[in-house]
Structure formats: C-alpha cells, structure tokens
Amino acid sequence: MKKQFIVAGLAGLLALSLAGCTSNGGTTTPSTSDTAATSATAAGGTVGVAMPNKTSSRWVADGNAVQSGLEALGYQVDLEYAGDDIPTQTQQIDQMITKGVKLLIIASIDGTALTSQLASAKAAGIPVIAYDRLINGSPDVDFYVSFDNYKVGVAQANSLLYGLGLTNKDGSKAANPPAGPLDIELFAGSPDDNNATFFWNGAMDTLKPYFDDGTLVVKSGQTDFAQCAITRWLLESAQTRMDNLLTSAYGGNGAGLKGVLSPYDGLSRGIINAMTNVGMGPDIAGGLPVVTGQDAEIESVALINQGVQFSTIFKDTRKLADQAVKTAQEILAGNTPTANNTTDYNNGVKIVPSYLLDVDTINKEDIQSKLIDSGYWTQSQVDNGQA
C-alpha cells in the first residue's frame, strides 16, 4: 500500500536558496514550492505540511515560513492548503502518508476530523505535530506547537478594557473610568477549533468582574459561547451576526454600543463592515466602538493604523514556524522534543506535550516598533493594507 520515496545517500546538502526574501507577514518566499517538487533531491526526506486555507494571510505566512525553515535544513516540503474544506484536508493528509513523508505538521480545519488519518500515520511510523490548533480525539498526536491560547484571550479582553477607558495600557485601573454600564457584544471563534474555547475562556475570566459589578453589559443578552461562535471563522458570518445585533439591540444604527470582543481579525473586519454599513465611523459622532482582533493580518493592521480597528494580538508566525521546525528536527533525530507545557492540552485522549509562545498586543502606536521594525510588515504594506 505504502510507497516510500526514500532518498538515500544524499549527505551533502542542497543549496539553501531562498529566493526573494520579501516581507510578507514575516515570511520568505521560497524558491521551490509544493507537491510537484517533493521527491527528488531531499537529503532529509519529505515533510508534509497541511494548512487550512489561503484566505487568511496568516496561514500563507505560516506555510511559507515552515517550508523555508525545513528546506534550509535539507528537507523537501509538501505544503498543501485545503480551502477550509475538511474532506480536502483529510485527502491531502492521506496522500502525504501514501507518499511516505517522514513527518506531518498539521494545522487542522476541524480538530476532531483527523482520527483515522492520524491512525494511518502512526501505523506507518510517521510522527505528527499539531500546528497552532490542537488535534482532538486521537492518541496519535505527538506534539503541539502553538501560542498560549488562554493568554491570547486574556490579552484580547484586557485590550477591550483599555479601549473602553476602564484600565490603562499596563492593565492598572484607570484614574477616571467612564461611568457604566457600558454596552458591549461578544464574538467567539469556530466551535470545531480547539483554540476558540481557550480564547473565549481567557477573555471571559478577565471580563467577569466587570460583568459581575455591572460595569459591562452585553445588551443582546448573547453571552454563551454557542451564541457567539462563528463557524469556520468566516468574515461574512461575523458581519451577518453583527448586522442582526445592530438591528435587534442597538436601534439599527449602533447607538450606545461601546465595544466588541472579537477573537480574530477576519471577524473584526466583518464586524466593522456591519458597523460602517449602518453609518457608524471613526469620524462620525460617537466614533466606532472598540473592536479587538488577532493575527496582525495586514488588512487589519491597516485599519488599526487608520484608527478604525482598535487592536490586534500579534502572533509572530515566524517564531511559531521556527518552533515547529525545531520540534520536527528533534523528533526526526530521535530525541524527545522540548516542551514548556505538559499539563494544559488534553485532547480528550491524552495530554499532548506542547510548546507555547507568547504574544504581543498591537495598538496603532505599536505598529512601528513591533511590526515594521521587526520586518513582519513594511510601511508600504501597512499603508496599502496588502501583503
């Protein structure tokens, strides 16, 4: 059944030619790309990298960064994007296993849909690293590399509190906070993405005291994860939900709405579209409500720069890719990969050893120092809102 493309004896390494180190979400543009080129010259064999979609610029940045990191170590890379379609992703992983990849790095679409693929990988001796999103319900996930997802949620809620004037940027109480109650609305991520609950829990734990003492009120009454979740993290679905909230709870024009907790930039842009469609705007009386985000996607960084979106949480995909590559190298060398968390990520079958990275909150004044100076985005990308 299983064809192995074992490329033996190529000890000398290939040229590490990484064409055009353009700044596009902190990634390099690799000289060779995907499937077609995956068999012949690999000194270390092929690593399969499965990413969810190309519509979110972060996954393109992640994929490119993982690919160039692995290629620099002498591996070939089979990098695939699944258009957010679960059968496509399972098929891509099946094919990688059939081809005999040495290791799989997977950012899943639905964290519970890969059990049989992972069982086949295990049977074929192929280790699996879950990338950014944990894969649930399978004993065959060897490792998890991600950001500290609970802390992301805490950072989003803290940013909302800061934007509302209740706290200072360092988290301390504001000297002259606005008189409450302040009306806000809540959004959550895709229910099949394990991260979405971590973001939600981090945010809710942080906001709870403000709900308890009446400072914050969710006027729509929609405070359950299930009511706030946006399947597949779709911008359009967030826009539709925000439209409905504006109509049902804010008189159709957003009157009184002060802030929206959004866990991802794509949702934030949908939320902002809904607001601007009913005539709300940064330069219109009352301004736009505070809208948070995540991923420092270029379209949202531009909006932050223009004073439209309030904040995003920057997850440096270069660091995550680097960690995934290091972990892959450790596993392929037969070593135990370095973990910094062995307690929090239970996938329903086992606790998956994890390496979690820290994140930064970005407001307008941080774009230069955190995103441009570090080479993640260029000034002109920020000005144009395009990678």
Interface residues toward ligand GAL, by CB under 6 A: 56, 58, 132-133, 189, 193, 195, 233, 264, 294-295, 315
- Taking the complex as a whole, the smallest distance from the CB of residue 279 to ligand GAL amounts, in Å, to 29
Indicate the residue among 78 and 295 with the shorter CB distance to ligand GAL: 295
* Alpha-carbon span 34 to 30, nearest angstrom: 10
- Taking the complex as a whole, the smallest distance from the CB of residue 196 to ligand GAL amounts, in Å, to 7
181: cis peptide before it, omega within 30°?
yes
Contact by Cβ (8 Å): 194, 113: no
Contact by Cβ (8 Å): 65, 32: no
Torsion from C-alpha of 315, 321, 326, 330, nearest 10 degrees: 110
- Taking the complex as a whole, the smallest distance from the CB of residue 88 to ligand GAL amounts, in Å, to 16
Contact by Cβ (8 Å): 135, 105: no
* Alpha-carbon span 286 to 280, nearest angstrom: 8
Indicate the residue among 102 and 315 with the shorter CB distance to ligand GAL: 315
Indicate the residue among 140 and 295 with the shorter CB distance to ligand GAL: 295
- Taking the complex as a whole, the smallest distance from the CB of residue 108 to ligand GAL amounts, in Å, to 9
- Taking the complex as a whole, the smallest distance from the CB of residue 290 to ligand GAL amounts, in Å, to 20
* Alpha-carbon span 16 to 8, nearest angstrom: 19
Q: At what angle do helices 194-212 and 149-163 cross, to 10 degrees?
A: 40
Indicate the residue among 129 and 166 with the shorter CB distance to ligand GAL: 129
* Alpha-carbon span 97 to 48, nearest angstrom: 8
- Taking the complex as a whole, the smallest distance from the CB of residue 318 to ligand GAL amounts, in Å, to 14
Which two three-digit tokens encode residue 348? Answer: 């329903």
- Taking the complex as a whole, the smallest distance from the CB of residue 189 to ligand GAL amounts, in Å, to 6
Continuous segment of H or E residues that includes residue 51: strand 46-51
- Taking the complex as a whole, the smallest distance from the CB of residue 320 to ligand GAL amounts, in Å, to 9
Indicate the residue among 80 and 193 with the shorter CB distance to ligand GAL: 193
- Taking the complex as a whole, the smallest distance from the CB of residue 107 to ligand GAL amounts, in Å, to 8
List helix spans (H) across 250-368.
265-277, 298-305, 317-332
* Alpha-carbon span 223 to 211, nearest angstrom: 11
Residues 6+ apart with CB under 8 A from 228: 186, 187, 188, 200, 222
Q: At what angle do helices 86-99 and 115-123 cross, to 10 degrees?
A: 0
* Alpha-carbon span 46 to 103, nearest angstrom: 8
Indicate the residue among 158 and 195 with the shorter CB distance to ligand GAL: 195
Indicate the residue among 153 and 353 with the shorter CB distance to ligand GAL: 153
Indicate the residue among 132 and 316 with the shorter CB distance to ligand GAL: 132
3 state DSSP class of 77: strand
